[in-house]
Amino acid sequence: MFSAALTPLDAELAPDHACFIAHCRYLLDEGCDAIAMLGTTGEANSFSVAERTALLEAVVVGGVKPNQLLPGTGVAAFTETVVLTRHALSVGVETVVMLPPFYYKNVSDDGVYAAYSEIIQRIGDPRLKIVLYHIPQMSMQPISHALIERLRKAFPATIVGIKDSSGDFANMTAMVERFPGFAVLTGADPLLLPLLRKGGAGCITATSNLVARDLAYVFKHFRDSDDDANLAAAQARIVKARELVSRFAQMPSLKALMAERTGHAGWQRLRPPLETLPAAQMKELLASAAASAKAA
């Protein structure tokens, strides 16, 4: 169970290393197996290569084990993806989450395959493990089953899984059935339990920043009966949290709730073009969160 970690920002809108390291430790203490940093939720594509490498180095120096990290390394220029991925390997991180090149639209599977193939061959490191990233609503570049099959055939030791953030449960279960041994991870928190029961591998999710303990409980107890009151309660809290942060724009909502929980102003900030919630929405979000906490 992996957290798609938010990135706190300092007053200059740069990643706040100390705050992020503390957040990583918190998430691990709450039961996360690893931190999927610098993904969509972490605003990765708003940061430069230098900012991304510096943050990863700081986290490792700060005591988070490399095998507890899954950084996002896929960017539009495949040469920079190579740089980011080589850097991850250089600090001991062997598994990365990799978007396909995403700027040009209506690219064929052949083009996407060529990009991944070029990246893997240029890196040329047998340690490398890649979790593909399917988020077509953001990247506009879907990862088809035919492409997965081709990549797995060419690079069986490297292409080890996929994060599916499409929300399409049928697509996830179809991949589980078609690709035995391939780790299918959902990006939607409420789908963790049903996907695990279909043979999926787990999740990389945004709401884990708030409800990691509940997600960890579901991951550990998903084989239990639906009569298990604790499992049902954990799943209900996950669904409620996801609904809460999806009422308005998700990332500023998550950051607002993190700022409220921690009292740290850095969680309130987003890097442009993303914006904080309007005052009325912020007030409604925090009131709803307080009411939910009181009811629990």
Look-up of token digits 């969509």 = 40
Closest by Cα among 68, 57, 61, 88 to 24: 68
**Backbone dihedral angles phi then psi of residue 186, each to the nearest 5 degrees:** -85, 150
CA distance 245 to 259: 14
Burial (Cβ within 10 Å: 0-12, 13-18, ≥19) of residue 56: buried
- What does the buried/exposed string (b/e) look like for 236-247 if buried means 16 or more CB atoms within 10 Å of the residue's CB? ebbbbbbebbee
The Cα 203–Cα 142 span in angstroms is 19
| 3-state SS, residue 196 | helix
Q: How far is the C-alpha of 240 from the C-alpha of 121, rounded, in Å? A: 44
71 three-state secondary structure: coil
Catalytic residues: 133, 163
Dist CA 146 CA 112 (whole Å):
12
Q: Which residues contact 104 (CB under 8 A, 6 or more apart)?
A: none
Q: Which segments are annotated as binding site for pyruvate?
A: 41, 204
Cβ-contact 216, 241 below 8 angstroms: no
The answer to whether the CB of 212 falls within 8 A of the CB of 27 is yes
| Separation in Å, CA 49 to CA 55, 72, 87, 100 | 10, 11, 10, 16
- Show binding-site residues: 41, 204
* Bridge partners of residue 162, in order along the sequence: 132, 184
